[in-house]
Amino acid sequence: MLAQNAMLEQNEYRLVLVRIGSQAIWVDRTDGALRLPRVTIPRWTRPAEQLQRAIEADWDLRSIVLGFLPSKVDSAPCAVVEILFSRAHDSLTAASIDEISGEEMTSEEREAVTAILSGNAHRPFSRIGWTREAMAWMRAELGQDIEFTGEVRQFNASGSFALVRFSTQTGSAYWLKATGEPNAHEFHVTRMLAKLCPEYLPRQIAAREDWNAWLMEDAGQPLDSMESPVLEEVVNSMSRVQRRTIGRTGEFLAAGALDQRIGTLRTHLPELTEYLQEAMAKQTSTKVTRLDRHRIFRLEAALRDACLRMEDVNIPDTLVHNDVNRGNLLFKGMRCCFTDWCEAGVGNPFLGFEYLCLLQPRSGEDWRPRLWEAYKQCWIGFLEESAIDEAFAFSPLLAMLASLYGRSTWFYASRRNLPHVESYARSLARHMDRAAQDPLLLEALCH
């Protein structure tokens, strides 16, 4: 049984291996037949990163994933991979794509690979040799004497998205990040924020609008300590970023940040309520509570009251990160930087604090009171103490509402009916229902 479970947690990929300056692909030749190489990587991980590692382990080849091809449901997914800084391995044979059988590649896959080999890939990161162009650009920006080690670590791969780390001979490293639709706005939001709060983001060195990409200096390691002093430093840094964006929220909205202002959330409550009723009606599990129609309407009333009261507190809107996790909090010593602003929104800053509190381990000492006090001290002088205390009471419930609302557009799209989306909405609704009964919230609403 353990062996079967291990196999279920793996994904096999077919590989189309290509090299700059060649129209051939590299394949396995077994008993005279040409077959695309295969690798197996862990499921639920970053495919580009794991494919790089598997290719280096199996063939001692450095590579970059150019993209993933649409494949049939019953076949292994297919990745186009460029071989970097190395000759092809002895066990691999160069072959024309026309020599590959229809059993190995579909006509759609063959057409896509032919376009890449011919230099007709329209998206920048599907082109063979794009990493060489990127390094030439980096040398021009950083100084022609910079020497790269050849170690290129990839974390995202697609024609219009990239997240790649380039190492240098001096030990320093640089990150190239690029985003396409529907996340193209991250380029503009990040550049604006880097000018306002340069010490709290990885240092930006250059940008390329044609790639929607920016070059950053390595800013340290992801958060690995859950000690209270470390989280308090994150709290302090977050509040400084938030305060610097006061009065600039219109610019961030124009740049593509989410509109999660309390008034916007309140205005869309009827649509949210209607959707939750539809999602709850489709629940089949009896292991968890199904909120009936009247319970959802009571939840809507509690949410509306909390929104109105939070608006009365009159806390200025700021930029809110919305995707606070260990990987997005970088430390070099005790200096904290925030990265990955794709989900950034404009809204009440205390909702952002709630997302940070979720990092605290569920077991052990409750650090929330200490984090509350640290965040409170950050706002003393900007807000009345009574306003801060009220915001703490309303923010747990409203942070869940903001998470459910998200980008709002999905309520009008086909994905609203996907089972996992409906399941997430039902789970969040149950959490909101419990939060609406919190004594601290009820007491605040009564005052």
Residue 4 has pLDDT above 50, yes or no: no
| pLDDT score of 294 more than 70 | yes
Statement to judge: residues 272 and 370 lie in one domain = yes
- pLDDT above 90 coverage of the chain, percent: 75
Pick the more confident residue, 44 or 280.
280
Whether residues 285 and 379 fall in one domain: yes
Give percent above pLDDT 70 in the chain: 95
Q: What is the mean pLDDT of the chain?
A: 91
Position with higher pLDDT, 43 vs 262: 262
From CA 353, how far away is CA 378, in angstroms rounded?
12
Q: Is the pTM of this model over 0.75?
A: yes
Query: Does residue 2 have a pLDDT over 70?
Result: no
Asked whether the predicted pLDDT for residue 305 surpasses 60, the reply is yes
CB atoms within 10 A of CB 288: 10
Given 155, 182, 217, which residue is the final one in a domain? 217
How does pLDDT run across 333-345, given as a tens digit for each residue? Answer: 888 999 999 999 9
Q: How confident is the model at residue 85, as a pLDDT?
A: 75
Same domain, 199 and 53: no
Give the pLDDT of residue 3. 44
34 pLDDT higher than 50: yes
- 424 neighbors 383 (Cβ within 8 angstroms): no
Q: Are residues 211 and 225 in the same domain?
A: no
- Same-domain pairing of 378 and 301: yes
Whether 290 and 175 share a structural domain: no
Say whether both 349 and 278 belong to one domain: yes
Do residues 353 and 421 share a domain?
A: yes
* Claim to verify: residue 152 and residue 259 sit in the same structural domain: no
Please report the pLDDT score of residue 227 as a whole number. 76
Question: How far is Cα 279 from Cα 260, in angstroms, rounded to an integer?
Answer: 22
pLDDT in tens, 230-252: 889 999 999 999 999 999 999 99
Q: How is the chain split among helix, strand and coil, in percent rounded to 5? A: 45, 20, 30
The predicted structure's pLDDT at residue 238: 97
CATH number of the domain that residue 191 is part of: 3.30.200
Pick from 102, 122, 142: which residue ends a domain? 122
What pLDDT sits at residue 261? 97
Stronger pLDDT, 127 or 410, i.e. the higher one: 127
**CATH code where residue 231 lies:** 3.90.1200
430 touches 291 (CB < 8 A): yes
Average pLDDT for 281-288: 90
Q: Which pLDDT band holds residue 87 (cuts at 50, 70, 90)?
A: low
Cβ atoms of 304 and 437 closer than 8 Å: no
C-beta pairs of 251-255 under 8 Å, 24+ apart in sequence: 251/192, 252/189, 252/192, 252/319, 252/344, 252/346, 253/346, 255/185, 255/188, 255/189, 255/192
Cβ-contact 279, 422 below 8 angstroms: yes
Check which CATH number belongs to the domain holding 104 and give it: 3.90.79.10
300 lies in the same domain as 268 = yes
Q: How far apart are CA 445 and CA 447, in angstroms?
A: 6
Question: Domains in the chain: how many in total?
Answer: 3
Chain centre distance of CA 366: 28
- Mean pLDDT across the stretch 185-205? 96
CA distances to 3, 6, 15 from 43, in Å: 15, 10, 17
Quick one: 76 and 141 in the same domain? Answer: no
- Tell whether 89 and 10 lie within a shared domain: yes
The helices-and-strands tally (H runs, E runs) of the chain is: 15, 18
Give the confidence band of 286 by pLDDT, cuts at 50, 70, 90: confident
The last residue of a domain, from among 184, 200, 217: 217
Query: How many residues are listed for the chain in this entry?
Result: 447
pLDDT of residue 363: 64
> What is the average per-residue pLDDT within 53-59?
94
- With a cut of 50, say whether residue 277 has pLDDT above it: yes
In terms of residue numbers, what domain contains 262? 221-446
Asked whether the predicted pLDDT for residue 258 surpasses 90, the reply is yes
pLDDT class of 8 with cuts at 50, 70, 90: low
